[in-house]
Chain A
Amino acid sequence: MRGNLYASGNITRIDGPLIFLKRSVNVGLNEAVAVIGQDGQARTGRIAALDEEYMTVEVLESTEGLSLSNTRVRFTGRTPHFDVGPGILGRIFDGIGRVRDGGPPVPAEHSLRIDGMAINPAARGKPSDFIETGITTIDLMNSLVRGQKLPIFSGGGLPHDRIAVQIAGRARLRGQEAGDFALVFVGIGVPHHTAESFRRAMENSGALEHTVMFLNHASESSTQRLLTPRFALTAAEYLAFVEGRHVLVIMTDMTNYCEALREVSASHGEIPSRKGYPGYMYSDLAALYERAGTLRDHPGSLTQLPILTMPSDDISHPIPDLTGYITEGQIVLDRELDRKGIYPPVKVLPSLSRLMKDGTGEGYTDPDHPALASQIYAAYARAAQVRVLASVVGEEGLPAVDRQYLGFGDAFETAIIHQEDSRTLEESMAAAWKLLNMLPRDELSRLSDAQIERHLTA
Chain B
Amino acid sequence: MSEAVLSQISGPVLRARRRGDFFINEAVAIGERRLLGEVIRIEGEEIVVQVYEDTSGLRPGVPVIGSELPLAIRVGPALLGRIFDGLLRPLSMDIGYYVRPGLSELAPCTFYFEPQVEVGHVLPHGGVFGRILADSAREQRALLAPNIGGRVISIAPSGDIRDDEMVCELETESGERHRVAVSHYWSVRKGRPVAERLLAEQPLLTGQRILDSLFPVARGGKAALPGGFGTGKTVLQESLAKWCDADVIVYVGCGERGNEMAGVLHEFPELEDPRTGRPLMERTVIIANTSNMPVAAREASIYTGLTVAEYFRDQGLHVALMADSTSRWAEALREVSGRLGELPGEGGYPAYLSSRLADFYERAARVTTLGGDEGSLTLIGAVSPPSGDFSEPVTTHTKRYVRCFWALDQSRAQSRFFPAVHPLTSYSEDVEDLTPWWEREGNTEWPRIRRRFLTLVEQQAHIERMARIIGKDALPPKQRLTLLAAELVSDGFLRQSSFSLTDRYCSPARQTAMMRLIDRFITLAEKAVEQEIDIERIQKMAILRRLRRMGEELGDNQLAHYKLLGTRLEAEFAHLVGEAGRAG
- A-chain residues with CB within 8 Å of residue B474 when the two chains form the complex: 397
Do A126 and B266 have beta carbons less than 8 Å apart? yes
Give the contacting residue for A28; candidates B59, B259, B295, B389; CB below 8 A: B59
Do B258 and A293 have beta carbons less than 8 Å apart? yes
Give the contacting residue for A50; candidates B9, B348, B468, B549; CB below 8 A: B9
| Complex: A157 Cα to B7 Cα, angstroms | 52
B469 at the interface (CB under 8 A from A): yes
> Min CB distance, B46 to chain A, in Å?
11
Within 8 A of B (CB), among A17-35: 23, 26-31
Among the 9-residue stretches B92-100, B106-114, B352-360, B441-449, the one with 4 or more Cβ atoms under 8 Å from chain A is B92-100
B163 at the interface (CB under 8 A from A): no
Do A126 and B415 have beta carbons less than 8 Å apart? no
> Min CB distance, A46 to chain B, in Å?
9
Interface mask (B280-309 → A, CB under 8 Å = 1, otherwise 0): 000000001011110100000000000000
Do A119 and B230 have beta carbons less than 8 Å apart? no
Give the contacting residue for B55; candidates A29, A329, A349, A381; CB below 8 A: A29
| Complex: A260 Cα to B86 Cα, angstroms | 31
| Smallest Cβ-Cβ distance to B546: which chain A residue | A449
A448 at the interface (CB under 8 A from B): yes
- A-chain residues with CB within 8 Å of residue B313 when the two chains form the complex: none
Give the contacting residue for B416; candidates A56, A316, A324, A377; CB below 8 A: A377
Within 8 A of B (CB), among A95-145: 115, 117-127
| Complex: A144 Cα to B387 Cα, angstroms | 24
| Smallest Cβ-Cβ distance to A280: which chain B residue | B335
A210 at the interface (CB under 8 A from B): no
Within 8 A of B (CB), among A340-398: 349-350, 352, 354-355, 357-358, 370, 373-374, 377-378, 381-382, 388-389, 392-394, 396-398
Do A286 and B292 have beta carbons less than 8 Å apart? yes
Contact A445-B83, Cβ < 8 Å, known A23-B60, A120-B99, A381-B414: no
B399 at the interface (CB under 8 A from A): no
- B-chain residues with CB within 8 Å of residue A280 when the two chains form the complex: 295, 335
Do A355 and B470 have beta carbons less than 8 Å apart? no
| Complex: A396 Cα to B474 Cα, angstroms | 11
> Min CB distance, B270 to chain A, in Å?
11
Do A445 and B384 have beta carbons less than 8 Å apart? no
| Complex: A433 Cα to B577 Cα, angstroms | 36
Interface mask (B449-474 → A, CB under 8 Å = 1, otherwise 0): 00000000000000000011111111
| Complex: A117 Cα to B102 Cα, angstroms | 13
| Complex: A148 Cα to B267 Cα, angstroms | 17
Do A399 and B473 have beta carbons less than 8 Å apart? yes
B584 at the interface (CB under 8 A from A): no
> Min CB distance, A148 to chain B, in Å?
7
- A-chain residues with CB within 8 Å of residue B288 when the two chains form the complex: 121
A13 at the interface (CB under 8 A from B): no
| Smallest Cβ-Cβ distance to A128: which chain B residue | B266
Do A283 and B290 have beta carbons less than 8 Å apart? no
| Complex: A325 Cα to B98 Cα, angstroms | 23
- A-chain residues with CB within 8 Å of residue B222 when the two chains form the complex: none
| Smallest Cβ-Cβ distance to A330: which chain B residue | B230
- A-chain residues with CB within 8 Å of residue B290 when the two chains form the complex: 118, 121, 286, 290
Interface mask (A295-337 → B, CB under 8 Å = 1, otherwise 0): 1101000000000000000011110011011101110000000
| Complex: A217 Cα to B91 Cα, angstroms | 40
B116 at the interface (CB under 8 A from A): no
> Min CB distance, B13 to chain A, in Å?
10
- A-chain residues with CB within 8 Å of residue B91 when the two chains form the complex: 120-123
- B-chain residues with CB within 8 Å of residue A2 when the two chains form the complex: none
B328 at the interface (CB under 8 A from A): yes
| Complex: A402 Cα to B475 Cα, angstroms | 14
Tell me how many residues of A have a C-beta within 8 Å of chain B.
85
Q: Considering residues B259, B331, B467, B549, which has the most beta carbons from chain A within 10 angstroms of its beta carbon? A: B259
| Smallest Cβ-Cβ distance to A376: which chain B residue | B416
Do A392 and B469 have beta carbons less than 8 Å apart? yes
Interface mask (B259-287 → A, CB under 8 Å = 1, otherwise 0): 10111011100000000000000000000
| Complex: A362 Cα to B80 Cα, angstroms | 32
Among the 9-residue stretches A173-181, A219-227, A269-277, A408-416, the one with 4 or more Cβ atoms under 8 Å from chain B is A269-277
- B-chain residues with CB within 8 Å of residue A377 when the two chains form the complex: 414-416
Do A50 and B261 have beta carbons less than 8 Å apart? no
Contact A389-B472, Cβ < 8 Å, known A321-B386, A358-B263: yes
What range describes how many residues of B lie at the interface?
Answer: 35 or more
Do B59 and A27 have beta carbons less than 8 Å apart? yes
Within 8 A of B (CB), among A60-79: 79
Give the contacting residue for B258; candidates A124, A330, A350, A358; CB below 8 A: A124
- B-chain residues with CB within 8 Å of residue A283 when the two chains form the complex: 255, 291-292, 295, 331, 335
> Min CB distance, B196 to chain A, in Å?
38
Do B259 and A328 have beta carbons less than 8 Å apart? yes
- A-chain residues with CB within 8 Å of residue B230 when the two chains form the complex: 324, 329-330, 350, 352, 354
B193 at the interface (CB under 8 A from A): no
- A-chain residues with CB within 8 Å of residue B267 when the two chains form the complex: 126
A158 at the interface (CB under 8 A from B): no
Do B338 and A271 have beta carbons less than 8 Å apart? yes
- B-chain residues with CB within 8 Å of residue A445 when the two chains form the complex: 491, 545, 548-549
A287 at the interface (CB under 8 A from B): yes
| Smallest Cβ-Cβ distance to B100: which chain A residue | A117
- B-chain residues with CB within 8 Å of residue A165 when the two chains form the complex: none
Do B229 and A393 have beta carbons less than 8 Å apart? no
- A-chain residues with CB within 8 Å of residue B97 when the two chains form the complex: 119-120, 123, 241, 295, 298
| Complex: A404 Cα to B389 Cα, angstroms | 35
Do A119 and B99 have beta carbons less than 8 Å apart? yes
Do A398 and B472 have beta carbons less than 8 Å apart? yes
Do A50 and B416 have beta carbons less than 8 Å apart? no
| Complex: A123 Cα to B90 Cα, angstroms | 12
Q: Considering residues A126, A291, A329, A377, which has the most beta carbons from chain B within 10 angstroms of its beta carbon? A: A126
Contact A118-B56, Cβ < 8 Å, known A279-B348, A326-B291: no
| Complex: A126 Cα to B257 Cα, angstroms | 12
Contact A349-B348, Cβ < 8 Å, known A118-B98, A392-B468: no
Do A79 and B7 have beta carbons less than 8 Å apart? no
| Smallest Cβ-Cβ distance to A374: which chain B residue | B416
> Min CB distance, B347 to chain A, in Å?
8
Do A321 and B387 have beta carbons less than 8 Å apart? yes
| Complex: A31 Cα to B56 Cα, angstroms | 7
A15 at the interface (CB under 8 A from B): no
Q: Considering residues B59, B384, B468, which has the most beta carbons from chain A within 10 angstroms of its beta carbon? A: B59
| Complex: A50 Cα to B5 Cα, angstroms | 13
Do A125 and B291 have beta carbons less than 8 Å apart? no
| Complex: A94 Cα to B222 Cα, angstroms | 52
> Min CB distance, A48 to chain B, in Å?
7
Do A399 and B259 have beta carbons less than 8 Å apart? no
Give the contacting residue for A29; candidates B59, B98, B539; CB below 8 A: B59
B20 at the interface (CB under 8 A from A): no
Interface mask (B1-31 → A, CB under 8 Å = 1, otherwise 0): 0000001111100010000000000000000
B553 at the interface (CB under 8 A from A): yes
> Min CB distance, A75 to chain B, in Å?
12
A51 at the interface (CB under 8 A from B): yes
| Complex: A374 Cα to B496 Cα, angstroms | 12
Interface mask (B160-179 → A, CB under 8 Å = 1, otherwise 0): 00000000000000000000
| Smallest Cβ-Cβ distance to A148: which chain B residue | B259
Closest 9 CB pairs of A and B: A397-B471, A381-B415, A316-B387, A286-B291, A124-B262, A324-B229, A49-B10, A51-B8, A28-B57
Q: List 10 extra interface pairs beyond A398-B471, A442-B544, A445-B548, CB under 8 A.
A: A52-B8, A118-B292, A120-B99, A271-B338, A279-B338, A283-B335, A350-B230, A378-B415, A389-B467, A445-B491
Chain A interface residues toward B at CB < 8 A: 23, 26-31, 48-52, 56, 79, 115, 117-127, 147-148, 241, 270-271, 273-274, 279-280, 282-283, 286-287, 290-293, 295-296, 298, 315-318, 321-322, 324-326, 328-330, 349-350, 352, 354-355, 357-358, 370, 373-374, 377-378, 381-382, 388-389, 392-394, 396-399, 402, 442, 445, 448
5 intermolecular pairs with C-beta atoms under 8 Å apart: A30-B56, A124-B259, A374-B416, A393-B470, A397-B472
